[in-house]
A and B are shown apart, each in its own frame.
Chain A
Amino acid sequence: MGRQTRAAMFQQPGCAINQSKPEHQRAKGCSPRSLVPGAAAGGCAFDGSKIALQPITDAAHLVHGPIACEGNSWDSRNSQSSGPTLYRTGFTTDLGEMDIIQGGERRLYRAIKEIVQRHAPPAVFVYTTCVPALIGDDVEAVCAAAAERLGTPVIPVNAPGFAGSKNLGNRLAGEALLKHVIGTVEPDWRTPRDINIIGDYNVSGELWQVTPLLKRLGIRVLASISGDARYREVATAHRARATMVVCSQAMVAMARSLQQDYGIPYFEGSFHGIGETSSALTRMAELLVRQGAPPSLIGLTQDLIAEEEAKAWDRLEPYLPRLAGKRVLLYTGGVKSWSMISALQELGMTVVGTSVRKSTEDDKDRIRDLMGEDAEMFGQIPAKELWRRLTSGEADILLSGGRTQFTALKTKTPWVDVNQERHHAYAGYVGMANLAQQIDSALHHPIWAQVRAPAPWEGAEAAP
């Protein structure tokens, strides 16, 4: 990718990181941390771009690269659809040696054509990976030519892996939408309560734990970017009255552009936890009223919050005594850190430490507010350190993603999945009960007493 584009990606004066920096540093903007060979972990920019866009359920998602990029990663996330399933189909140009020698453009064009002819999707997203970027395939030109000849939007997403982190990929995906998609379709009708939700990918159907609430308030999700999305809805995002950003750092740039280009104000919020959900709904209502929605929306929202909070606490009641005072180690990132902390505190649990890998300064301030000044925040924990923390017994349970799952289990520590592959939905008032139930089940599972006890012949020497 061009250096200029990349530099531009990091000039986000509105980004929380930059805002929180002292004046003299601010001009530099933020840049991706350089990765240490032999001691790095995490996904690449392509990964990030795919995470952000693949939940657009009726589009075809074509990965232009050798087999590894799609073959090793497809069909692994749990983004749900209420209808179309084309997004689950893994498409790749699967570049071979000859394609690399001769250039991959011809194969790319043929692949797009095959997909359009066979599946007639409303759009094809084409993801550039390292190899075509390196050999200089003009992906944008192929996409433009294909779109014209085939009469279907073909959107280039230029986020090859070597460009940087997953986070950068999220942003580049947002850029692709702004440049090629948003503003190309007008909604059939408009309401003063149309919103965009950016950064929720409907993992395990979390979006559906929230949309019924919005429906009761007469709020319409005009464009979800991109959980359970349809292409044409995404394309109408420029007509929303307000935007909610659910995962702060990654997609805030996109919300900012929508504000700049189309005057759509945004706020950052979360649907994890009772208090956070209520706060998000309140801010959404206030923002919409300021944008011209009837002022009665605020009262309506307050009524709904009161009713739903009461129900939510009722549902939590059986779990609270069982979770009270239990210590949690939270290993996730970004907005999830603070929103999860507040949810866990509502359950009466103690968060003994949290990772802030992808969190902004803003996020960190909120964590300090919630956990107190001496809150332990850490970045990447090497597996060895994680092992030490867990075996030392400083936490009763680890909440993290699949990558650290087996480190936790080997130390015989209860574990609950809070990342992308999770199979339970924890959003909104309903999701809280699911979270409580999952944590309760993990903590009080009958296996712990069995697997922690040494074998009879091991005598006093304790098992790990």
Chain B
Amino acid sequence: MTAIIGNGKAATTNPARSSAPLGGAMAFLGIDRCLPLFHGSQGCTAFALVLMVRHFREAIPLQTTAMGELSTILGGAENVEEAISNIRQRAAPRLIGLCSTALTETRGEDAFGDLRLMRERHPEWSDMAVVLASTPDYAGGLQEGWATAVEAVIAEMVPEGRPDPSPLQVNVLPGSHLTPGDVEELRDIVAAFGLEPIVLPDLSGSLDGHVPRQYVPTTLGGTEVDDIPRMGASAVTLAIGEQMRPAAELLERRAGVPVRVFDRLVGLRPVDAFIAALSEISGRPVPANLRRQRSRLVDAMLDGHFYFAGRNVAIAADADLLLSLGGFLADMGCTLQAAVSTTASSALERVPADSVVIGDLDDLERAGAGTDLIVAHSHGRLAAEHLGVPLYRVGFPVFDRLGAAARVTIGYRGTRDLIFRIGNILIEGHEGHESPGHGSMERAHDGIAEAPLAVD
């Protein structure tokens, strides 16, 4: 049983968590021709914008209601109205994704009510959707903001009632812990069974790093707005990550679409479970290329397990990513010496560690002395420097390495790549200073070629 504990500190030190509105905006960025909008002071937007620009290495469309001193005192509804009108005029989006912030939530604005009145005053707004996600910075983090935004999209755009089901159509709700590269891999896997996925949100269409032919003020690519109302007709909703359960269950309540939650897609057994489910849903056997990929993963596990065995890892991540990667590392024989989650989640109970601290990168650093590897986002570099331990960068933000958005770690293929990447770091770290336990194993492994074969 994993113990979930708080860090008991008043000063969060070297934060691991990004804010909920940022997560909300990121989810909206996975919808085609969308423009996310923060209801807050312009700094809230500037920080989130810059961080996403640095992570994705893309120009990011994100706007602000620019709350000032006066509007903070008198109420911000006018700012919201003006912002939406301005954006509609200048950028003509199909969808505006409005995220509240701590500033406006602390004021206690009735943003939902305000928005309803605005819509009545502006019939011309009917040519676009406006979705409001309640994402105060003081509750949750990136993962929760992401999940809230997806829920809000479903609540606003998927009609209630069960339409005629399309037996091959499936909803895929990827959590915030999946990269654009992961989402693409996920869609390909689902499509390999002849299924027609509607992926919400779909960062692989918008933030995959492509060069557009002209300037577009909104997102370009992602979930098609017109596909969202059709989600009620899907045969099933595949929620990836515990964080997506509420959104999937909302779809179930609204349109009767059954839910399947997959909390991990990294590692042999979790991927097997997913593939088996797809085979069952589609009524088709597992395609040959996936069987081959599975066999390659098994081979990589056999080749790589020496280097993971008995190694200690300190990991900090948002809850679902923590479960995903922590579970994988344990599957490969590592010990999670320290596990830090940014927020609480029922997923944490399944993290294979003695305890999970809900805390920051300072907690990671303090518990991580003597580990072989730190797994965290780019800010983990401070802890890694101080401890003299290699850092494997995962999650958000990764601003000091290339290709964070393109990296694939899910499915058989992604898991195999992950074994190679992390395995090589562990090998490299090991070449300098051999620990006796591991060294003997490596010698045994190296010795295979020279050892006389036992022939009957």
Contacts and interface: CB of A to CB of B under 8 A. Distances in A.
B11 A93 contact: yes
B63 A74 contact: no
B17 A67 contact: yes
Contacts of B64: 35, 37-38, 40-41
A90 interface: yes
Interface string B54-82: 10011100011111110110000001101
A451 to B, nearest CB: 8
Interface string A48-62: 000000000000001
B46 A37 contact: no
Interface in A63-111: 65-76, 88-97, 99-100, 107-108, 110-111
B19 A46 contact: no
B79 A72 contact: no
A38 B84 contact: yes
Interface stretch (B118-126, B206-214, B261-269): B206-214
A66 B44 CA distance: 11
Interface string A382-425: 01100110000000000000111111001010000000000000
- The interface centre, meaning the residue of B18, B59, B65 with most chain A CB atoms within 10 A of its CB, is B59
Given A44-B46, A130-B41, A38 B15 contact: no
B102 A68 contact: yes
Contacts of B112: none
A40 B107 contact: no
Given A69-B47, A406-B53, A114 B83 contact: no
A162 B41 contact: yes
A37 B66 contact: yes
Interface string A447-464: 000000000000000011
Nearest to A34: B68
A92 B15 contact: yes
Contacts of B59: 383, 404, 406-407, 410
A84 B68 CA distance: 36
A199 interface: no
B42 interface: yes
Nearest to B49: A403
Given A43-B43, A68-B101, A130-B72, A37 B82 contact: yes
B37 interface: yes
A40 B107 CA distance: 22
A39 interface: yes
Nearest to B13: A91
Given A44-B41, A72-B48, A62 B101 contact: no
Contacts of B214: 387, 464
Given A97-B138, A131-B103, A91 B12 contact: yes
A36 interface: yes
B138 A99 contact: yes
A89 B366 CA distance: 14
Interface stretch (B85-93, B158-166, B292-300): B85-93
Contacts of A39: 63, 86-87, 90
Given A37-B65, A130-B103, A68 B10 contact: no
A73 B51 contact: yes
B90 A464 contact: no
Contacts of B362: 89
A52 to B, nearest CB: 15
A141 interface: no
A45 to B, nearest CB: 7
B10 A67 contact: no
- The interface centre, meaning the residue of A37, A43, A74, A160 with most chain B CB atoms within 10 A of its CB, is A37
A372 interface: no
A113 B10 CA distance: 9
Given A44-B42, A68-B47, A130-B103, A94 B22 contact: no
Contacts of A73: 47, 50-51
Contacts of B106: 100, 131, 134-135
A161 B11 CA distance: 21
A353 interface: no
A90 B15 contact: yes
Given A68-B47, A74-B379, A35 B68 contact: yes
B138 A72 contact: no
B382 interface: yes
A107 B10 contact: yes
Contacts of B85: 38
B144 to A, nearest CB: 11
Nearest to A462: B213
B9 interface: yes
Contacts of A115: 11
A108 B11 CA distance: 8
A402 B397 CA distance: 15
A402 B41 contact: no
A383 B54 contact: no
Contact of B22 (A72, A161, A164): A72
Interface string B373-408: 000000101100000000000000001000000000
Contacts of A402: 50, 53-54
B141 interface: yes
B35 to A, nearest CB: 9
B217 interface: yes
A42 interface: yes
Contacts of A96: 138-139
Contacts of B399: 76
- The interface centre, meaning the residue of B41, B54, B69, B87 with most chain A CB atoms within 10 A of its CB, is B41
Interface in B209-247: 211-215, 217
Given A40-B64, A74-B15, A162 B141 contact: no
Contacts of B42: 35, 40-44, 161
Contacts of B15: 67, 70-71, 74, 90, 92, 94
A119 B141 CA distance: 27
A363 interface: no
A163 interface: yes
B137 interface: yes
Given A42-B42, A66-B138, A135-B106, A37 B79 contact: yes
B11 A38 contact: no
A96 B144 CA distance: 14
A37 B137 contact: no
B67 A68 contact: no
Contacts of A228: none
Contacts of A114: 9-11
A299 to B, nearest CB: 46
B279 interface: no
A447 to B, nearest CB: 13
A407 B66 CA distance: 23
A47 interface: yes
A95 B11 contact: no
29 contacts: A37-B86, A38-B66, A38-B85, A38-B87, A38-B90, A43-B46, A44-B42, A44-B44, A47-B43, A47-B46, A62-B11, A66-B136, A66-B138, A68-B44, A71-B12, A71-B17, A72-B47, A88-B382, A89-B14, A89-B362, A92-B11, A93-B11, A93-B12, A111-B10, A131-B103, A162-B72, A162-B103, A384-B215, A384-B217
Interface of B: 9-15, 17-19, 21-22, 37, 40-51, 53-54, 57-59, 63-69, 71-72, 79-80, 82-87, 90, 101-103, 106-107, 136-139, 141, 211-215, 217, 362, 379, 381-382, 399
Interface of A: 1, 6, 34-47, 62, 65-76, 88-97, 99-100, 107-108, 110-115, 130-131, 134-135, 160-164, 383-384, 387-388, 402-407, 410, 412, 463-464
Given A88-B382, A130-B72, 17 more contacts: A34-B68, A35-B66, A36-B82, A37-B79, A37-B83, A39-B87, A43-B43, A66-B137, A73-B51, A93-B11, A100-B138, A111-B10, A112-B11, A161-B42, A161-B44, A164-B69, A464-B211
